[in-house]
Structure 1
């Protein structure tokens, strides 16, 4: 029997299990998050005798006689101070890391009531945050320290919640105090657990699955194979090519393929039984990269060929323009696979419903996508599958595909019991789609004044084992490869190939990050040839209102690229080793695809309830919609309620992807407000009880290749200029990021998006990689190269507001563009530093790289 003191109470327990499992599963202390089970992420931090310590690596026997404190055990004063400080500072986004940050912050403050910024960053060096870039978390801890040190009162909230105010996000309290529920926090009566046996080979025929020993193991309830799927075995976001489980006699496509699902009463029973399942394989030759995939006679990853997508984007005559150019530069660029590394591993809970369907609780980026794919798998009409978002612990594109949702739905449907399906961090790294590895070969020509005349490029993309969003990602990489400049001769040819690597799909930047690295690197080399500065060549070519982008779209008066360049100019002029990069990124799906935003404002108990099927994944959508409603109706904040995304009483508003929700769903919400305002002219909210006001917005665009002089590819673009600054030793000491956001709905959240995106791409540029050996990922969470709080540069956010966009309150989504120009800006800073042209990420020959000079 082991004895522990937790939050001032003594407990006894007979099994020597990991501390995290005891705190979460036995004591139900859900502030202790399980982000990796490897001691690498910090989400499980607890105080042990006053020091922050990981709970996921050691058994409870190691903690006997010690005092353990979790967020639940903080004093009332501490709880309120951290809620206020983190809200005021804008420290909370997805929130999954936040309880661990609070614990590390308390440990620091208890030992050092007046910490410096450097001391605070060092105190959270073992806590990973993938959303915020750490700056605002450090601000929050330092503010909490000041309030506790000086015994300051907690100010009253006097915000009107109008557009443009720096309001604390509406979910701060539940995330700081861990009262909000992520899917893995759910406890349901009678709940069982399920997990998949995964393929032993990247490419092999499954000859037999022997389950007898596993079925006889203690606590095992069932084992399901592809033969048990009542509907379609194939799933897929756009193309249904992804096997929910591999049938006997069929071929695996990567190591993450599910062979069968083991269901049991406990996690431990399931994991033990998985080892007893025997699978016979006939290994086949694997395809490890696109160049193997394209060779004549190559094995087929899928029966319809190894080429997933071919995109050709052309306007004018690029070849002739380059031939007639005064100066020409070329380069061949490589960007690697990248892991999203969101802090919350994938989990879904599903339970049967009385009508013969299922209710799925998930942490994904689109409840209607999940409903559609689960319904197809189960062979059910879509209305019999209900999906509800719990809190989502980060996504960045990595939670758009099916990973666990469909498996949970299947088990609940077949077994008629609630079930939880979770991925371990190792499984998560293996299974969900990554950022595409891409090779870009690009040539640019310009005249004697540095005016770009033409660009020609070839893009080769590794889309891995399944389609996911590989086609649209390739398309966006190609259409944006021209950069945000005014010239008309442009030709890009892109191909995405299947391989037996983990799938690649959506990732913040959606393909643009990769090709932006190419064009922005070449622009610096071109400036040198012309004899003008990198700032000047960009300023001369920058797209301006009324001009045509290379795709032919005439940009409107809201276009603010020039303003971002002008905002960066003083920083550029006053630093020695400084690199620049510009970028543009679409808001909304665009290219002729129907892109709807929908919102219902329902009146209940005298309050306005915002209902939309748009997922809030940490970017702050709920707060944005509340501000839009308060601004457009003049209602006070306490009269407006945000309802979590679901598929049964909230209308479909599309996937949270493509920087679309603020603009697209924001405009739908504004339109619903117009109807509500009209109704409130004649009645009070109480008199409108039960009524609903529906807003819808369709972003109309032209398809790729439209036969018209000036097609509208996207309803809006965001623009940015970033500057990276090195010191004399070649260390990145500062990144300044000027972003054209149209109108900042909540400047505090905009800054948080900029800081988080910049630091994510700082890692992309310098330290992050996703190495593969024989199609098998070799990295663990702790070896991915993720930036840490004490090893990052200063980030200066410069918000450029340019009026002119007449939808969505004038706001342009900023979630993606923040991470696009950072890597080339850093690359170009090194070009200024040592004049070495670097064409591969992560950059070589830097203080951060494994390969140094």
Structure 2
């Protein structure tokens, strides 16, 4: 199909800060989320979960629960009509536990009742006899026991010889390489989305099921549900309901299969809606990680080799651990030119909660370790940390540890330069309690405060990698309504708050030159759009919508010629579909990890300025400046919102966010004890956008949502190290980690 000239620029088309159609409703509290769903004759579903991280199930007695008035049914593993296991990549997670439970919170039984409180009471009446078994909760122990999900091995250049040369030079008095090493740890972070898991399923007349779900990928949910329900795909029909944020936590199914099984058994619509505590148990989290790194560099600061060992705790089931550890390993040398690299990445099974996708997808963990160790190298070389990064930064043409050359824009050095040239924020004025650590709580009055500055840069692949045939479909219909041209767009793209609905509208306005655009609800009745993840949805779904609009224009011209659009449409609507695909990628080979695995790369950098009260261990992030190449800012205001949000999640990981486990038991499943940044914690976030068009994407755009989470955490950690002189080899950094009498940052007097 040949393309035609794009329509004239539209006032709310591509490149403008068009308003979101759901924005006003969400701000006013009128938007319908999944938890707001209702249906006639609806009953409520609830899940009984294991209190133990590891145990054998000896007996289950559901009779007392069934006897409770108002209870419609109680189901166990025996009632699963189809395949008993599900999973995104590997079907290894039981729909309902059968003989054993492998983590605290694993589903054991389901209840449907006429009221949610009745359902909760019935759960307490189910009698389960457990025989506890010793849990494996340490990743190193799991690795030693052979509980490996995946091992990624990457060898590039000759790292062993490079290491040997460094040792030989030191022995023989020749100019030796400067070698620094460190071991770094990342805690388990939660996606902490606004709306807990919810959905509604109802039986269909054809024996199938219709479900309204809050998800990131309708078609993958459909695939897993159909297998477990014992139904063909066409009898499992899904519609996207209101999504209250996702960040990777909705890639795995939660209520979907359970609600559908209950609906088919009862013959009635079933609603399931988790409370906040159950939500912490009911979805995957970011993988905790331990990463050992060794950098070798010449005396003038040129990187020669990197050796890395990554160990990710995947928890009880596989979820996406196989690809998370791959992604973390691919970028374990950072955004730098390194001729010799040896990387070993391991993901393991434990009896901790399952871990899977979260914004940044493994690259967050490796970026924290790389950028932390690079600052250590800068101190050893007595080189400015920003200059060391610029000196070694990737460029277009850089060959990655996987052997792939970067063929798109790679402005790593430019991003750091822009941040370095930005003026530093002023010191807090006297009496400004908001501006000093602990000032708002009258905890501190500014004594013992030291300022630190830290830099970091991150790189990540955009889109699915490793040979996945990534495609996205869209249909566009152009018609007249009340005499005005109207474009209707139908895709299965999941709007998770990132603004894909708005972008689709903007593309249609740009390509078709119409004012009125309607994006219809996302359903499985149209072709697969893929997941709203991997920073891919604007690229892939946008490419599909653009292609469908171009096909509509061509068909209109071929069938009806030239003329005013309204006049041409008097003969009836015009509709066309389009399937968009990017160029091929390839799996890496298992021996040396070499292969052209990625379609594109995105870069983001941060400079953090922090004030630290080293007597109380309190921190105020004063500024978190960022520079990022976005290819094309499809909606500049939305792009800035994504960058601010990603920076906030990075700040949370740096200073406060961690799910705490004790022998596999979750100790803080609430926002009372799991802390997330508030407006009082957020600093100024100046944003410097670069728009360097990517040669392969629609409009030259690039992924935006994930890169800010990469560099924000290590930038803050490096600033804390600059202020205190401490190693700080673990995030989140806690107050007691910072209390020291040997801080080395720039001290200032109290305001």
TM-score bin, normalised by smaller chain: 0.7 to 0.9
Please give the alpha-carbon distance, in whole angstroms, between the structure 2 residues aligned to 1:369 and 1:519. 34
In the alignment, which residue of structure 2 is the partner of 1:623? Answer: 502
Unaligned 5+ runs, structure 1: 1-157, 297-304
Partner of 1:663: 539
Can you list the C-alpha shifts for 1:186-243, whole angstroms capped at 9, x where unaligned?
1100000011111132111111111111111110011111111110110111100001
Provide the residue aligned with 2:620 in structure 1: 731
Alpha-carbon distance in 1 for matches of 2:153, 2:595: 16
User: For 1:401-445, what per-residue CA distance to the aligned partner results, in whole angstroms no more than 9, with x for missing partners?
Assistant: 111111011111121110001112111112211000000011011
* TM-score of the two chains, using structure 1 as the length reference: 0.77
* CA displacement at 1:558 relative to structure 2: 2.4
- 2:115 aligned to 249, 266, 289, which one? 266
Whether the aligned pair in 2 keeps the contact of 1:359 and 1:386 (CA below 8 Å) is yes
Q: Does 1:817 align with 2:707?
A: yes
Partner of 1:537 in structure 2? 388
**In structure 2, how many angstroms separate the alpha carbons of the residues matched to 1:307 and 1:525?**
31
- The question of 1:678 aligning with 2:529 is answered no
Which of 562, 569, 586 in structure 2 is aligned with 1:702?
A: 586
What is the CA distance between 1:728 and its match in structure 2?
Answer: 6.8
Is 1:252 equivalent to 2:101 in the alignment?
yes
Q: Distance in 2 between matches of 1:163 and 1:509?
A: 26
* 8 Å contact from structure 1 (residues 843, 849) kept in 2: no
Question: Matched residue of 1:255: which SS?
Answer: coil
Question: Aligned partners of 2:490, 2:739: CA distance in 1, in Å?
Answer: 47
After superposition, residues 214-293 of structure 1 pair within 5 angstroms as: 214-247=65-98, 250-293=99-142
1:744 CA displacement: 0.6
SS of aligned partner of 2:578:
strand
Tell me, yes or no, if the aligned pair for 2:693 and 2:699 is still in contact at 8 Å. no
Structure 1 residue 594 corresponds to structure 2 residue 478: no
Compute the displacement of 1:620 (Å). Answer: 0.6
Which residue does the alignment assign to 1:522? 373
- Kept after mapping to 2: 8 A contact 1:842/1:849: no
User: Pairwise mapping of residues 633-648 of structure 1 onto structure 2 (< 5 A)?
Assistant: 633-636=512-515, 638=516, 640-648=517-525
Q: Quick check: 1:834 aligned with 2:683?
A: no
Q: Secondary structure at the match of 2:101?
A: coil
Partner of 2:325: 474
1:8 corresponds to: none
**What residue number does 1:322 align with?**
163
Residues 731 and 847 in structure 1, CA contact (< 8 A), matched pair in contact too: no
The alpha carbon displacement at 1:695 in A equals 3.3
| Inter-partner Cα distance in structure 2 for 1:225 and 1:356 | 21
SS at match of 2:339: coil
In 1, Cα distance between equivalents of 2:87 and 2:296: 41
8 A Cα contact 2:402 2:593, kept in partner: no
**Cα contact 1:611–1:644 (8 A) shared by 2:** yes
Q: Is the 8 A contact 2:52 2:105 kept in 1?
A: no
Are 2:647 and 1:750 aligned? Answer: no
Change (3 A) 1:392 1:521: same
Q: CA deviation at 1:710?
A: 8.3
Shift of 1:666: 1.6
Q: Are 1:164 and 2:48 an aligned pair?
A: no
Shift of 1:528: 2.1
Contact 1:485 1:550 in 2 (8 A): no
2-structure distance, mates of 1:567, 1:831: 22
Cα distance change on mapping 1:180 and 1:737 into 2, 3 Å: same
Cα deviation digits, residues 232-283 of structure 1 (max 9, x gap): 1101111000011012xx1111121111111110001111111111111121
Q: CA deviation at 1:692?
A: 2.5
d(CA) in 2 for partners of 1:680, 1:635: 14
Aligned to 1:830, the other structure's residue is in SS state: helix
Is 1:462 aligned to residue 341 of structure 2?
A: no
Asked if the contact 2:157–2:341 (Cα under 8 Å) also holds between the matched residues in 1, the reply is yes
Take 1:851 and 1:695, find their aligned partners in 2: how far apart are those partners? 62
CA 1:241–1:581: 2 relative to 1, 3 Å: same
2:402 to 532, 540, 551: 551
Residues 585 and 718, structure 1, Cα contact 8 Å, conserved in 2:
yes
> What is the TM-score when the length of structure 2 is the normalising length?
0.87
Deviation at 1:687, TM superposition (A): 3.5
Q: Name the CA distance, whole Å, in 2 between partners of 1:788 and 1:852.
A: 30
Shift, 1:845, TM fit? 5.0
CA-CA distance at 1:496 after TM superposition? 1.0
SS of 2:319 mapped into structure 1: coil
Q: Relative contact order, CA 8 A, sep 6+: which one is greater?
A: 2
Equivalent residue number for residue 337 of structure 1: 188
SS in 2 for 1:464: coil
Deviation at 1:688, TM superposition (A): 4.9
Aligned-pair CA distance for 1:396: 0.3
Mapped partners of 1:848, 1:763: distance in 2: 16
Judge conservation of contact 2:17–2:635 (CA < 8 Å) in 1: yes
Distance 1:690 1:565, change over 3 A: same
Equivalent residues in 2 for 1:28-107, closer than 5 Å: none
The answer as to whether partners of 1:195 and 1:262 remain within 8 angstroms in 2 is: yes
1:703 CA displacement = 1.3
Measured against aligned partners, the alpha-carbon deviations of 1:83-102 in whole angstroms (never above 9, x if no partner) come to xxxxxxxxxxxxxxxxxxxx
- For residues 528 and 572 of structure 1, the distance between their equivalents in structure 2, rounded to whole angstroms, comes to 23
In the alignment, the residues of structure 2 paired with residue 710 and residue 845 of structure 1 have an alpha-carbon distance, to the nearest angstrom, of 42
Local SS of the residue matching 1:602: strand
State how many pairs are aligned: 683
Deviation at 1:604, TM superposition (A): 5.2
Sort the Cα spacing of 1:624 and 1:823 in 2 relative to 1 into closer, same or farther, 3 A.
same
Q: Name the counterpart of 1:808.
A: 698
Contact 2:474 2:578 in 1 (8 A): yes
Q: Does 1:311 align with 2:152?
A: yes
Contact 1:844/1:851, CA 8 A, preserved across alignment = no
Alignment of 1:652 onto 2:511 = no
Pick closer, same or farther for the CA change 1:711–1:498 going to 2, 3 Å.
closer
Equivalent position SS for 1:492: strand
Q: CA deviation at 1:552?
A: 2.2
Would the aligned equivalents of 1:663 and 1:808 in 2 still touch at CA under 8 Å? Answer: yes
Alpha-carbon distance between aligned partners in 1 of 2:111 and 2:216, rounded to the nearest angstrom: 26
CA distance in 2, matches of 1:667, 1:843: 41
Match of 1:505 in 2: 356
Cα deviation code 1:632-653 (max 9, x no counterpart): 23222x1x211222101x2101
Partner SS state of residue 190, structure 2:
coil
1:193 to 24, 44, 48: 44
Q: 1:728 to 1:377 in 2, by over 3 A?
A: closer
* In 2, Cα distance between equivalents of 1:287 and 1:170: 48
Instruction: Return the match for 2:655 from 748, 766, 789.
Output: 766
CA contact (8 A) 1:725 1:735 kept: yes
Alpha-carbon distance in 1 for matches of 2:706, 2:408? 22
* Pick aligned residue for 1:371 from 205, 208, 222: 222
8 Å contact from structure 1 (residues 363, 391) kept in 2: yes
**1:785 to partner: Cα distance:** 1.5
Matched, 1:794 2:684: yes
Give the conservation status (yes or no) of the 8 Å contact 1:322–1:455. Answer: no
Matched, 1:392 2:392: no
- The answer to whether the 8 Å contact 1:159/1:167 transfers is no
Structure 1 709/817 Cα, relative in aligned 2: closer, same or farther at 3 Å?
closer
C-alpha separation in 2, matches of 1:397 and 1:218: 39
Moved more, 661-670 or 596-605: 596-605
Cα pair distance change 1:559/1:635, threshold 3 Å: farther
> CA shift at 1:808, angstroms?
2.1
Superposed CA RMSD: 2.3
